[in-house]
Structure formats: C-alpha cells, structure tokens
Amino acid sequence: MTSGGDAPGMNACIRSVVRSAAGHKLLIDGIIRGYEGMINGDFQQMNTRTVANIIHRGGTILKTARSEVFKTPEGRQQAYEQLVAADVDAVVAIGGNGTFTGAHIFSQEYNIPFIGIPGTIDNDLYGTDYTIGFDTAVNTAIEAVDKIRDTADSHDRLFFIEVMGRDSGYIALNTGIGVGAGNILLPETHTDIDELVNALKIGVKRKKLFNLIIVAEGNKSGGAMKIAEEVDKRFNHYESKVAIIGHLQRGGAPTGLDRVLASRLGFSAVEALLSGKKNVMVGIVNNEVAYTPLEEAISKEKKLNPYLLKMAEVLAI
C-alpha cells in the first residue's frame, strides 16, 4: 500500500516488495488508495508481471490518499475486517508520518503486523538517513532554481524561491546548498528579517549582482511571499521576485539514488516480515538497513545536520 503524499520512487519500491515476496512464493495484494482502499476492501492481486515497467515512473500505480476515516475507530475496525476477509497476514505501508501514525494506532488495536517504508519527499522521518523521493525532489528543485538563476542573473534580481517540506527544512537546506543560495530560511532556525536585509546590503557593497534565497514552506516567519514583502519594505535596491516550486517537486522519474533506495527498502521489508519483525519502519542508517519501531519513527525528531547548516552559511558569503 502507498499512502499520504506520493513520492518518486514509490513504484520502484512496490516492484521490489512484490518481487521479493513472489521470490518467497507469497501471495500479494495491492491496496488501492491507501487506508481508503483498506477500509473499502479495494485490493488487487499483484505478481511479478503487474509491476513490470514501473521502476522509472513517478507517482504510484497503487494510487494514494490521505484518509480521514482511518483516523476513527470505526474506520480502523472496518479496515481490519476487510483485511481478515481477504486473508491478509501482514501489511507493507509505504508513506510518511501520517501513514505510520495510522499504522501505529492500528497495531495497538489489532494483531496484523505492519512494516513501514519511508516514502516522502520531506525526508522528515527518524530512523532513516533518506526517505524515498527526497533525492528526486531536491534534484527537481535544483533544476528549477538553475533556470530561475538565468533570469535572476540577467536582470540583477533578488529571488525568493519556496520549496516544499512541510515542517522540515531538509529539501530547502539541500536545495540551497546545491544551488549556492545566498540565504536558506528554514523551519528549524530563526529567521531575522533585519539580519537578512543586512546581509543583502553587505552583498550589494561586495558587488553581488543577484541573489537567490531559498525559503522552506514551513519557515516560521512566513513563506516566500511574506518574507519578500517584509524585505521589500526595508530595502528596495533589488527588483524582487517570488517563485513557488510546489508540486513539481513531487513528480517525475525517480533518480538513480531513489530507485536503489526504494529497491533496498522494499526487499528489506519483506525480509523483515519473514524474520518475524512487526510494527517497525525499515530505513537506511549509515548505509546499513536499520529497523525502528513505528512509534519512534513518528515521535522522535530528525534533526538537520549542524555541519551542513554551518557549511551553507560559510559558502554563501
């Protein structure tokens, strides 16, 4: 099952789960539209052929949804009854925080083992260095900003570019480093508009002709629109512009890194189930497969690397 926001690489992961399970002669059903499909008994038999030719495709062939009904005890009971009726022994759920929160609650009420696979562009899950889709999203954002850079450079403009990530700054930090941004405004750090204006003024003195500022959508002082307004009020040297990359970041073919990560995690999820593990998220930590209880994956904070934060500041000079 895929659930929550789609992420590039989910298909590669579905393929890996199905083929790994088929290798052990297990029967596999795909659940359509996440928890919604579980509640409605929308299951489709899958085999090695139904997952052919999808490794390179963005989105998810199983479709996805954010289910409100699964948040209710009645919804979960209906889901349980559908799983029992379909003779389902275990569920592999590819998704993010919301998906695993649902799985954790369900696992306390019913005895059907869940294995979570981190699939979200936000990279905000504790227990894995990377989530499926993050690398692709960062590459897409970098490609978009590179194009904006051309016009920023030609017109000597100041650009505020907003990237996704919900409450997490992973996409913003990595995109910012990857494009050589002048500033990166994150949910995890405090944004001081006066300090930002000062930095821009110093840049002008140093003959910096254009500036790219990456703003995480979850930045506590506001998104790109709001920050641009505040800066314009205090400093009007530049003709400032705003670009919000939005859902572009969620689509497209997964990168090589995401395909390999998705394949590894899918394979490991099946191995985990066969070895008796349950209600854990499978992740990669320091290039090794690691299992984290779902409860920890959803409750522990995954902190940004302070070394990267410092480096981004130094390189922006």
Q: Which is nearer to ligand F6P, 76 or 166 (CB)?
A: 166
Please list the residues that pair with 284 across neighbouring strands: 289
Active-site residue set:
122
Judged by CB under 6 A, which of 16, 76, 116, 122 binds ligand F6P? Answer: 122
Judged by CB under 6 A, which of 164, 243, 282, 284 binds ligand F6P? Answer: 164
Q: Which two tokens stand for residue 310?
A: 């410092």
SS3 (DSSP) at 7:
coil
Write down the least CB distance from residue 249 to ligand F6P, Å.
Answer: 7
Query: Total number of residues binding ligand F6P (CB under 6 A)?
Result: 10
120 lies in the binding site for ligand F6P (CB under 6 A): yes
Residues 197-236 that bind ligand F6P (CB under 6 A): 217
Of 265, 227, 269, give the one whose Cα is nearest residue 244: 227
Q: Which is nearer to ligand F6P, 65 or 105 (CB)?
A: 65
Site string for ligand F6P, 131-150 (x = CB under 6 A): --------------------
Alpha carbon distances (Å) from 104 to 91, 93, 141, 233: 12, 11, 32, 47
CA–CA dist 137, 7 (Å, integer): 8
- How many other CB atoms are found less than 10 A from the CB of residue 180? 12
Q: Give the DSSP letter of residue 132.
A: B
DSSP line for 272-294: HHHTT--SEEEEEETTEEEEEEH
166 lies in the binding site for ligand F6P (CB under 6 A): yes
CA–CA dist 281, 272 (Å, integer): 10
2 lies in the binding site for ligand F6P (CB under 6 A): no
63 lies in the binding site for ligand F6P (CB under 6 A): no
Residues 238-267 that bind ligand F6P (CB under 6 A): 250
CA–CA dist 6, 246 (Å, integer): 13
Amino acid at 264: R
Candidate segments 115-123, 196-204, 207-215, 303-311, binder of ligand F6P by CB under 6 A: 115-123
Site string for ligand F6P, 81-100 (x = CB under 6 A): ---------------x----
Q: Angle between the 224-234 and 193-205 helix axes, to the nearest 10 degrees?
A: 60
Write down the least CB distance from residue 168 to ligand F6P, Å.
Answer: 8
Candidate segments 42-50, 162-170, 225-233, 280-288, binder of ligand F6P by CB under 6 A: 162-170
Task: Please give the residue ranges that form the binding site for ligand F6P (CB under 6 A).
Answer: 5, 96, 120-122, 164-166, 217, 250
